Amino acid sequence: MPLSQPRDPEATRRQLAPWLARRMPQARDLAITSMAPPAATGFSNDTLLFDLEWTEDGRARRAGMVVRIEPRGFTVFPAYDVGQQFHIMQRLGEATDVPVPPMFWLEDRTDVLGARFFVMGRVEGRVPPDNPPYHAAGWMTGIAPAARAALWWDGLEVLARIHRLDWRRLGFDFLAHGTPGLDAQLDYYARYLAWAAGGRPQPVIEAGLAWLRRHRPAGEPLGLCWGDARIGNMIFAGERCRAVLDWEMATLGNPEQDLAWWLFLDRHHSEGIGIERLAGLPGREETVARYEELIDRRVRHLDYYEVFAAFRFAVIMCRLWQLLVEYGAVPADADPQASNIPARLLAGMLGR
């Protein structure tokens, strides 16, 4: 589904080419030879893929690029910061073994494309699809069960690499936004829910927030959390993760919340839509056991963070429902709770 204000690739190409030329003074005859949105994209940003050709030192050069632009008009999140995403991935690429795309330039001005944006290198490979989910259709259904298992395990190993990082040494203090941790996140999602619900009562989601506040574990560790941790945000070449994408939900918190999101999103893409998981993909217990081996400590509050994952995704779906109404994809008087799969799964977790 396109964004509510689709960006014109040809106009963007004309606007971006002279900007790139100023950042590549060594390049001659620089040209953007193609520009188009990816085959599958999310709702939270504008993303365009393009090929860049130029001459340098008498040699013809070519590179695949990606421009990611802050959204205009309808936004999924209350605030969106491409600069923060750029700096996270830039720091990871320069100082860690977490695979991310090469980060080239950040533009904070809005006069070039009408919004802030960054340009990064394009990483070749395949991404497990969300629409339809990889359990239902797409290339994941056509590979052997052993290959699916290998892909899952490699993605999990990369997730553990993120969680083993020393966020203070790497300078990720800017993710704190005041006092970091679970209380700050619960307060953020309470505000997000009030904004996303648009005045409509959300009894299940509100009950989830109340449960999370009542059962909040104490003394939680702080680590770098990717935020949107799932294989659907990884580029794979064969069975190896070549890049970790989409850091818009990154925060500082207990990294168990990433593992919980990883498990919940896979559950959402199978049980949530009433289909069987693909054969070969490891289950919850063996995934948790392997994760504990990789980070060399026990997982203590996974049940709590799985409820947190369901709650967070249910809040996001409230906002996406408004987007669907705006597109005319659903009637304005339709019941948003009937189509909120994360909220239905949350209700089961809460015994409602």
pLDDT tens, residue by residue, 70-126: 987 778 899 889 999 999 999 999 999 999 999 999 999 999 999 999 999 999 999
Q: Residues 344, 309: one domain?
A: yes
Which of 121, 151, 185 delimits the end of a domain? 121
| Last-in-domain residue among 54, 89, 121 | 121
Q: Is 4 part of any domain?
A: no
Residue 3 belongs to a domain: no
* Shared domain check, 212 and 73: no
Q: Cα separation of 315 and 320, whole Å?
A: 9
Domain count, the chain: 2
Indicate whether this model's pTM tops 0.75. Answer: yes
Higher pLDDT, 149 or 45: 149
Question: Could you tell me the sign of the dihedral formed by the alpha carbons of 294, 296, 298, 299, in that order?
Answer: negative
Number of continuous H segments (helices) and E segments (strands) in the chain: 9, 9
Give the CATH number, domain containing residue 98.
Answer: 3.30.200.20
Q: Are 324 and 190 part of one and the same domain? A: yes
Regarding whether 182 and 242 lie in a shared domain, the answer is: yes
Of all residues in the chain, the percent with pLDDT exceeding 90 is 82
**Selection from 108, 192, 160 nearest residue 296 by Cα:** 160
CB hemisphere CA count around 152 (13 angstroms): 26
Q: Examine the domain organization and report whether 43 and 174 are in the same domain.
A: no
Boundary of a domain, candidates 88, 121, 154: 121
Q: pLDDT (tens digit, 9 = 90+) per residue, 21-38?
A: 999 999 999 999 999 988
Write down the mean pLDDT value for the chain.
92
Asked if 175 and 108 sit in the same domain, the reply is no
List pLDDT tens digits, range 187-216.
Answer: 999 999 999 988 888 999 999 999 999 999
Same domain, 189 and 90: no
Q: How many CB atoms lie within 10 A of CB 265?
A: 22
Please enumerate in sequence order all residues whose Cβ is within 8 A of that of 154, keeping only pairs 6 or more positions apart, or say none.
Answer: 236, 239, 240, 241
Query: Which domain range does residue 40 map to?
Result: 9-121
